[in-house]
Amino acid sequence: MQTISKIGIMTSGGDSPGMNAAVRAAVRTAVYHGLEVYGIRRGYQGMIEGDIYRMEATDVSNIIQRGGTILKTARSKEFMTDEGMHKAYEQLQSHGINGLVLIGGDGTFRGAVEFFKRYTIPAVGLPGTIDKDLAGTDYTIGFDTAVNTAVEAIDKIRDTAEAHNRLFIIEVMGRDAGYIALHSGIACGAEDILIPETNTDIDAVLKRIDMDERRKKNVHIIVVAEGDDFGGAKELYAAVQSRFPMLDVRSAILGHIQRGGSPTCADRVLASRLGYAAVDALRTGKTQVMAGIVNGELVYTPFENCVKQHAVISKDMIEMIRVLAV
């Protein structure tokens, strides 16, 4: 087992609230155990370019409550080339880094798998993504904050929808997974929730709108994930407006407000627990695994198995959504 003495920490891919809490936990755990810590700015691209600096416990003071990531983040096509990986390896070697903590999503972990095939530097990952779409953990860092941000925004939109008897179509993030739409839609009492995991029957959606109008329902809220097969808010708005030109229809795209903001208590605790676990895993010889929480327990899942997973919606939940929308 290789003895880990210097750890590099980076955040990669889309930012998510709680990344800073994870960085803080990993840095302080490493320092506690007498390890040197290096921050790698801008993910794999910063690794290639040598944007690496020494970190102490004081460098992560007063960041647990901040959104975004102090280490910055980026996506790097160059890293997925042999030349790019070799440059990254040389930079790690020049700093003496012999262990990595990677905070990101499945793209980050796929990159780690390919890197490890060429250069056997141990790496442990943390699930940093608002989409909650990784196997190997019940929740991902940032999901709870993002869905609560969506809920707060939808609640405010409902107020104005009720005041004007308007139909609102609200698009939330979720290019490949509908967890944010599903959870926020249920929490806000949406009449329809459209997600990538199910085929949208636009005729059925329009029929439900027609029924609500006939019985004079004051508010109709539709929550749609950006990756829905029919399209996002703009496409749905056009279909509804075309079928019901007399209705007062509005659309809202929540966009990147879901990525920012102070992380919730749940995300801070999750990120802290996983940041601590990542360093502990490296110290005990684990590598090429993601730390996650399943049924309240810490588990480690090989990177190859941390693929994107889609929401499995039971028939009971679909029925519940329809019943509660009456």
Amino acid at 208: R
Task: Show Cβ contacts of residue 151 under 8 Å, excluding neighbours closer than 6 positions.
Answer: 184, 187, 188
Does 210 qualify as catalytic in the annotation? Answer: no
DSSP assignment of 301-312, as one string?
A: EEGGG--B----
Query: At 248, phi and psi to the nearest 5?
Result: -90, 100
Instruction: Report the DSSP pairing between strands 220-225 and 192-194.
Output: parallel
Residue 172: both structure tokens together: 């939330």
**Would the CA dihedral through 24, 26, 32, 37 be positive or negative?**
negative
d(CA 251, CA 258): 17
> Token pair 């920012």 is at which residue?
260
Q: Which of 106, 131, 192, 228 is catalytic?
A: 131
Q: Which residues are catalytic?
A: 131
